[in-house]
Amino acid sequence: MDKQLVRQIKKHRIFYLLFIPIALYFIIFTYYPFFRGLIMSFQENRLIGTRPFAGLENYKLVLSDPSFLSSILNSLIIGFSDMVLYFSLALLFALVLNEITQKKIKQGIQTIAYIPYLLSWAVIGGVWALIFDLDGLVNRFLALFGTEPIFFLATPAYARPLIIAMGVWRSMGYFALLFTVAIMNIDRQLFEASRIDGASRMMQIRKIIVPSLLPTMKTIIVLLSIGVLTHFDEIYVMVNPANRSLINTLLLYVYENGILNFRTGSASAGATLVMIGTVLFTALIRRLTEYDKEE
Amino acid sequence: MNKKRMIVGLLILLMISLGVFAQGQVDKSTVEVKVLAGVTGGKDEAENKLFEEEMEKATGLNITWEKVPSGYDQVLMQKLGAGEQYDLIYLNQFQMYTLAKQGALTDLTDRIQNSKVYAENVDKAELEKIGLNGKYYAGFNKLEVFPLVNVNKAITDKVGINLDSLDTLDEYYQMLKEVKTYMETKEGKKPYYPFFTYMPDIWDLQPWFSSVGLRRGVFVDASGKKYAPYVSTKAKPVWEWLAKLYKEGLMDPASFTGKTGDMRSKMWQSQDIVMDVDWAAWTGLYNNNARTAGTYPAKVNVVGLPGTKGPDGTYMLEQGGASLWAIPSNAKNPDEAFEILEYMATKEGGLLLSAGIEGHDYTMKNGKIEYTEVGKSHAKDHGAPFPISTQFDLSLLGEMNPGVLESVAIGQRSDVEVAPMGYANGELDTRKYYDIMSKWMTDCIMGKISADAAINGAEKELRANKLID
């Protein structure tokens, strides 16, 4: 080993020692289950005892299952839409919020927008059912204009938009908060100088705020790309026979067809495919956004 | 000296013999028998401890009764998958088939066939229903009853409907229509949807498919071909009947999005529906709940009905998928586990699994059961409201909830046939079957496609997923 490296390690040994528990945590709770799952994806479906090697059988089975193929499409549509909407609406919201000069009003709006993020999906599912049910708030409002009630929760045309809107409603405030924090960290002197130079507020937003947010934007896009194929909770609380075929995502498939049916091999194969898809997609996004490029 | 030596030698020999004997006879109270339970046991942690002690007292075993409060299926999968060892696990019939085929369960055929307790307490016909290729991999938790039509007679009486005359789909349709008109015009409940059916698992449609003599699930014919009766052309009138109910506002739209809890509260709490299909035990529970709320029998008086008569004059109801106990193949103490399984099949075990713990849930006075306040709140259910033992007389439990015995008696009528759904000899992926069927039925009922198109679509998808041939 390089003598200099050894010297460096010795010098900073306290930090390396502090790193050991964290490394152990990840090895035990992340990498060990991951590799165990990976091995299981090549084994027969057996819950107890030795599992004979099954080659690519589980992968073949999963990839030839029409439900799995339709769940890929659903995941991509819901995941991409969420990613685009979370990002753009959160950015817009943060920019608008930044323009509010009254501190208390600004904080109030920010808190209201952030609160849904603290709620569990089960609670949100209940709230949305109350809003969009046949005798829910939306239909009562529409009735004021003589409109016939719409069965939002069981009409296929509304299935995906409702799920996407639910996600946006819950998460927009959180991502807007990240943008707001980044805006607050912009050097105030830049605004002063631009104002002296005669820049309008719109110009300040375009030329100072948005460019300063680029690192935060990259981080948020990468974070969102990790979640594109992993939507589960919101689907689980909203799925019903009328909308299932349109919102059944990859993880719901893995849960219902693998875990609930005790098919450990198939479940692991499905989960591994989701992970490979996520890694590839995130790598692509990192490349496109030049995430790893030194500023 | 020699005599002394001889005595000492004999004593040593005696001690060695006793030691060897003691080793052969393991004290069974020192062996820890681990049980993973779903619904069976105490209602909370404290009561579960009492339940465990009661079970230990009865069997002489050292038992750890681990009751999972929620999400049992997932917990069972995680625990077994992670290599945790249990001697006895609670599971449903579909899970039993899946695990037995994986070789994860102990073959109990010989034990059950040689068991005196099972011979004396368990009906052979019940055993037949849980066999897999002539073998048994599980024993019973309780006697399964069946879902049947539950109607709130307090409402139909006001409308002037004679429930005894309901036998056909059309007669039920007329009844629902009359109730709807009455509730909307006389009671001012508008819109009033009189019928709720829980669509996600299509589990409560059997009383209607009885009219065409068909059963839910997938069956295997003599040539080994798998077929699903609900997607045959004979089934079309039922699909169309359900669509008509929805179109005319007789079926609650919440049937597609709501849970069984919503259905039940609409039945007894708000009386927003007049009819559903629910377990026989629920006939009594509806009335008991209403009695507590002070609305029985004036506003709520639920009665069970057998549904529609089939072409051969019989009513077909579906027996609930069995709730069972199995011994995993890696169990450390299969013999002791089977002792527990046997105890649950006895009259005494049945009393523990229904009424609960003596001194806590009830006391016996002059041979009669008297429930404590705790016992009353537990509604005679600690996992088995209807014990499996044929020796168990339900009158042992004291006064039953109003209407329940009449509902249970319907299943014993000669013109009523109660049988389980088709599991395709244990091969059926029930989750996939429910999803496909409920999707196509929903599209048909909501009027998006015709019954013909829905039946064809469902059949094709079942075939594409290899659920039928």
pLDDT in tens, A55-75: 999 999 999 988 899 999 999
Residue of chain B whose Cα is closest to the Cα of A151: B253
Contact B342, B243 (CB under 8 A): no
End-to-end CA distance of chain A: 32
What would you report as the CA-atom Rg of chain B, rounded to the nearest whole angstrom? 26
Query: Where do we find the tokens 């699903």?
Result: B228
Least Cα separation, residue A116 to chain B (angstroms) = 23
Q: What are phi and psi of B62, to 5 degrees?
A: -100, 105
Angle between helices B169-185 and B236-247 (to 10 degrees): 10
Answer yes or no: is A126 within a domain: yes
* pLDDT at position B14 over 70: no
* pLDDT at position B450 over 60: yes
pLDDT digits (tens, 9 = 90+) for B226-244: 999 999 999 999 999 999 9
Asked if A66 has any chain B CB less than 8 Å from its own CB, the reply is yes
Higher pLDDT, B400 or B13: B400
Going by pLDDT thresholds of 50, 70 and 90, the confidence category of residue B21 is very low
Average pLDDT over residues B238-251: 96
Of A156, A245, A261, Cβ closest to residue B98: A261
Asked if A268 has any chain B CB less than 8 Å from its own CB, the reply is no
Asked if A134 has any chain B CB less than 8 Å from its own CB, the reply is yes
pLDDT at B320: 83
Please state, as a whole number, how many other Cβ atoms lie within 10 Å of the Cβ of residue B427. Answer: 14
Q: Quick one: DSSP state of residue B421?
A: P
Average pLDDT over residues B32-39: 94
Contact B431 A47 (CB under 8 A): no
Asked if B73 has any chain A CB less than 8 Å from its own CB, the reply is yes
DSSP-based three-state secondary structure for B256: helix
pLDDT at B150: 97
In 3-state terms, chain B is what percent helix, strand and coil (to 5)? 45, 15, 40
Asked if B438 has any chain A CB less than 8 Å from its own CB, the reply is yes
Q: Quick one: DSSP state of residue B82?
A: T
Chain A residue numbers with beta carbons less than 8 Å from the beta carbon of B196 are none
Beta strand pairing call for B62-67 and B217-220: unpaired
The string of DSSP letters for B87-116 reads SEEEEEHHHHHHHHHTT-B---HHHHHH-H
Asked if A150 has any chain B CB less than 8 Å from its own CB, the reply is no
A196 burial class (0-12, 13-18, 19+ CB within 10 angstroms)?
A: exposed
Least Cα separation, residue A146 to chain B (angstroms) = 16
- The parent domain of residue A93 ranges over 62-288
Chain B residue numbers with beta carbons less than 8 Å from the beta carbon of A256 are 431, 435
Asked if B461 has any chain A CB less than 8 Å from its own CB, the reply is yes
pLDDT digits (tens, 9 = 90+) for B282-337: 999 999 999 989 999 999 999 999 999 999 999 999 988 889 999 999 999 999 99
Tokens of A155: 């009409």
Angle between helices B451-464 and B430-445 (to 10 degrees): 160
Lowest mean per-residue pLDDT among A18-32, A33-47, A259-273, B19-33: B19-33
Q: What is the CATH number of the domain that holds A144?
A: 1.10.3720.10
pLDDT at B20: 47
CA pair distance B405, B284, nearest whole angstrom? 8
Asked if A52 has any chain B CB less than 8 Å from its own CB, the reply is no
Answer yes or no: is A10 within a domain: no
Least Cα separation, residue A133 to chain B (angstroms) = 9
* pLDDT at position A137 over 80: yes
pLDDT digits (tens, 9 = 90+) for B117-160: 999 999 998 898 889 989 999 999 998 889 999 999 999 999 99
- What are the C-alpha distances in Å from A253 to residues A72, A79, A271, B329? 10, 15, 10, 28
Calculate the average pLDDT of chain B: 91
Angle between helices B451-464 and B236-247 (to 10 degrees): 120
Which numeric CATH code is attached to B28-144+321-397? 3.40.190.10
CA pair distance B451, B457, nearest whole angstrom? 10
Q: Which of A48, A152, A243, A252 is the best residue to mutate to test the B interface, defined by the most B CB atoms within 10 Å of its own CB?
A: A48
Answer yes or no: is A205 within a domain: yes
pLDDT at B376: 87
Average pLDDT over residues A49-54: 88
**What percentage of chain B has pLDDT greater than the value 70?**
94
Query: Where do we find the tokens 């002296």?
Result: A196
Tally of structural domains, chain A: 1
pLDDT at B108: 97
* pLDDT at position B456 over 60: yes
CA pair distance A273, B224, nearest whole angstrom? 35
Residue of chain A whose Cα is closest to the Cα of B428: A261
* pLDDT at position A84 over 80: yes
Of B77, B328, B432, Cβ closest to residue A259: B77
Contact B103 A261 (CB under 8 A): no
* pLDDT at position A6 over 60: yes
Chain B residue numbers with beta carbons less than 8 Å from the beta carbon of A264 are 77, 81
Least Cα separation, residue B196 to chain A (angstroms) = 15
Tokens of B83: 């290599």
* pLDDT at position A247 over 80: yes
Edge-to-edge strand list for the sheet holding B422-423: B226-227, B217-220, B422-423
**A/B interface, count of CB pairs below 8 Å:** 89
* pLDDT at position B267 over 90: yes
Of B95, B102, B200, Cβ closest to residue A241: B200
Q: What are phi and psi of B35, to 5 degrees?
A: -120, 130
Residue of chain B whose Cα is closest to the Cα of A268: B81
Please state, as a whole number, how many other Cβ atoms lie within 10 Å of the Cβ of residue A113. Answer: 20
pLDDT at A3: 84
Contact B100, B426 (CB under 8 A): yes
pLDDT digits (tens, 9 = 90+) for B85-127: 999 999 998 899 999 998 999 999 999 999 999 999 999 988 9
User: Which has the closest alpha carbon to B121: B349, B384, B352, B400?
Assistant: B349
Q: What are phi and psi of B177, to 5 degrees?
A: -65, -45
pLDDT at B64: 96
Asked if A160 has any chain B CB less than 8 Å from its own CB, the reply is no
Chain A residue numbers with beta carbons less than 8 Å from the beta carbon of B73 are 260
Asked if A49 has any chain B CB less than 8 Å from its own CB, the reply is yes
Top CATH class of B147-318+408-464 equals alpha beta
- In b/e form, how buried is each residue of B255-265, taking b as 16+ CB within 10 angstroms? bbbbebebbbe
pLDDT at B162: 95
Q: Which of A256, A257, A262, A268 is the best residue to mutate to test the B interface, defined by the most B CB atoms within 10 Å of its own CB?
A: A262
Chain B residue numbers with beta carbons less than 8 Å from the beta carbon of A129 are 257
Going by pLDDT thresholds of 50, 70 and 90, the confidence category of residue B12 is low
* pLDDT at position A101 over 80: yes
CA pair distance B367, B382, nearest whole angstrom? 21
Tokens of A60: 């073949």
Contact B102 A262 (CB under 8 A): yes
CA pair distance B361, B202, nearest whole angstrom? 36
- How would you write chain A as a 3-class SS string? CCHHHHHHHHHCHHHHHHHHHHHHHHHHHHHHHHHHHHHHCCECCCCCCCCCECCCHHHHHHHCCHHHHHHHHHHHHHHHHHHHHHHHHHHHHHHHHHCCCCHHHHHHHHHHHHHHHHCCHHHHHHHHHHHHCCCCHHHHHHHCCCCCCCCHHHCHHHHHHHHHHHHHHHHHHHHHHHHHHHHHCCCHHHHHHHHHCCCCHHHHHHHHHHHHCHHHHHHHHHHHHHCCCCCCHHHHHHCCCCCHHHHCCHHHHHHHHHHCCCCHHHHHHHHHHHHHHHHHHHHHHHHHCCCCCCC
